[in-house]
C-alpha cells in the first residue's frame, strides 16, 4: 500500500516557482500551502509521512497520528517538533542543513551594505528631486563606510558563518570568530576570540549561531555595552538571540550605530513591534534563505530523505 505523504506548509519552500511532484514517486502526495493549528489534526490524521516547515507538532497531536512513521522538517531548526515524543512513538524525524549557506551569506552582505552605503536612502533622495545644482555632480545624504580594514565579528561558524567570513575577507576585512567547534589552526586567516572580545573589537557583528537554551538573549544590554558606539549588528540567525528591548535602548543611545535584522523574536511581529520606526534599524521578513537556488536544494534534500526512508 503506498505511503500517504502530506506537506502542511509548503508555500515557504515553494511559493509557486518550483514543484513538489518529485515526491509523488514515493507515495500519494497532498500539498497544503498553509495549515493553521486548528487544521493540523484533520489534515495529518492519516499521514505516513509529514513534511513541515514551521507547523508545530507537539505530543498531544503526535499521539493522535496512528499511521505516522516519519516527519521531515523542511528547514534546519527542529524546535517546532517534540523530538522526544516522536522518538517514543517510533517516528523518525529528519531536518535539512546547509542548503541556504550561500543565500543567507548573500543577504547578510546585502544588509551590511545597506547599513554602510545607505543605497535605499540615496535612491529615495534622488527620486525626490534632491540632486540639484547646488549639490554638484556628487553628494551624500549620510556618510559611506568603507569595509576595507574594518573588523567583522562572526558569532557562530557553521557553513553560513564560514561563507560570510570568506566574503568579508574578499572585501579586505579583518575577521574575528566565536565558535564552539572550529579548530583555529584550520583557519589561519581568522582570529578566534571570546564573545566579549568580539563585541569590543568588531565594527560589524554578524550572528550565525543556532538558538540553544544557553544563548537565548545572549545579545543583551551587558554585551551591547561593550560595542563601539558606531558598530553595526546583523542578525540572520534566530530572533531570540537578541534581547530586543535592550537593542532598542542601545540604538537610541547610539544614533551612529545600526542594526539589520532578518529574524525577530516574534514572526510576524505585529503592528506595534518594538523596533519599528528607528532610523538606524533595518528589518527584512526572514527572507535570507529564500533564494530560488537555495529552496531548490532544500526541496531536493527533502525528496532524498523521503526516498531513503521508503526504499
Active site residues: 238, 267, 286
Residue 309 near residue 303 (C-beta atoms within 8 A)? no
DSSP secondary structure letters along 292-309: HHHHHHHHHHHHHHHHHH
Round to whole Å and give the CA distance between 77 and 158.
14
Measured between alpha carbons, how far is residue 246 from residues 9, 228, 275, 294 in Å? 33, 16, 10, 33
Q: Are 87 and 279 in contact (CB under 8 A)?
A: no
Query: Which is nearest to 264 in space by CA: 241, 233, 280?
Result: 241
Q: Are 240 and 264 in contact (CB under 8 A)?
A: no
What is the Cα–Cα distance from 23 to 307, expressed in whole angstroms?
8
Cell 551591547 sits on residue: 224
194-220 burial, b at 16+ Cβ within 10 Å, e below that, comes to ebeebbbbbbbbbbbbebeeebeebbb
* Side-chain-side CA neighbours of residue 114 (13 Å): 21
DSSP output for 223-234: HHTTS-TT-EEE
Check: CB of residue 153 under 8 Å from CB of residue 173.
Answer: no
Amino acid at each position: 500500500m503506498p505511503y500517504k505523504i502530506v506537506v502542511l506548509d509548503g508555500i515557504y519552500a515553494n511559493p509557486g516557482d518550483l514543484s513538489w511532484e518529485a515526491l509523488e514517486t514515493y507515495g500519494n502526495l497532498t500539498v497544503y500551502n498553509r495549515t493553521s493549528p486548528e487544521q493540523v489534526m484533520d489534515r495529518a490524521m492519516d499521514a505516513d509521512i509529514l513534511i513541515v516547515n514551521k507547523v508545530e507538532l507537539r505530543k498531544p497531536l503526535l499521539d493522535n497520528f496512528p499511521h505516522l512513521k516519519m516527519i521531515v522538517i523542511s528547514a534546519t531548526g527542529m524546535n517546532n517538533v517534540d523530538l522526544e515524543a516522536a522518538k517514543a512513538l517510533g517516528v523518525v524525524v529528519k531536518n535539512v542543513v546547509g542548503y541556504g549557506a550561500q543565500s543567507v551569506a548573500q543577504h547578510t552582505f546585502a544588509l551590511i551594505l545597506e547599513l554602510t552605503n545607505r543605497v535605499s536612502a540615496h535612491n529615495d533622495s534622488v527620486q525626490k528631486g534632491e540632486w540639484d545644482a547646488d549639490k554638484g555632480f556628487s553628494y551624500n545624504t549620510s556618510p559611506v563606510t568603507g569595509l576595507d580594514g574594518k573588523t567583522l565579528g562572526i558569532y557562530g561558524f557553521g557553513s553560513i558563518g564560514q561563507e560570510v567570513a570568506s566574503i568579508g575577507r574578499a572585501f579586505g576585512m579583518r575577521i574575528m570568530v566565536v565558535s564552539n567547534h572550529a579548530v583555529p589552526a584550520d583557519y589561519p586567516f581568522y582570529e578566534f576570540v571570546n564573545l566579549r572580545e568580539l563585541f569590543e573589537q568588531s565594527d560589524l557583528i554578524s550572528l550565525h549561531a543556532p538558538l540553544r537554551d544557553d544563548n537565548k538573549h545572549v545579545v543583551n544590554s551587558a554585551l551591547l555595552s561593550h560595542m563601539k558606539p558606531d558598530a553595526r549588528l546583523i542578525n540572520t540567525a534566530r530572533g531570540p538571540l537578541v534581547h530586543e528591548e535592550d537593542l532598542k535602548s542601545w540604538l537610541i543611545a547610539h544614533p551612529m550605530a545600526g542594526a539589520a535584522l532578518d529574524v525577530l523574536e516574534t514572526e510576524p511581529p505585529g503592528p506595534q513591534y518594538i523596533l519599528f520606526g528607528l532610523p538606524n534599524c533595518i528589518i527584512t521578513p526572514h527572507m535570507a534563505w529564500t533564494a530560488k537556488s537555495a529552496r531548490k536544494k532544500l526541496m531536493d534534500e527533502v525528496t532524498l530523505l523521503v526516498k531513503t526512508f521508503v526504499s
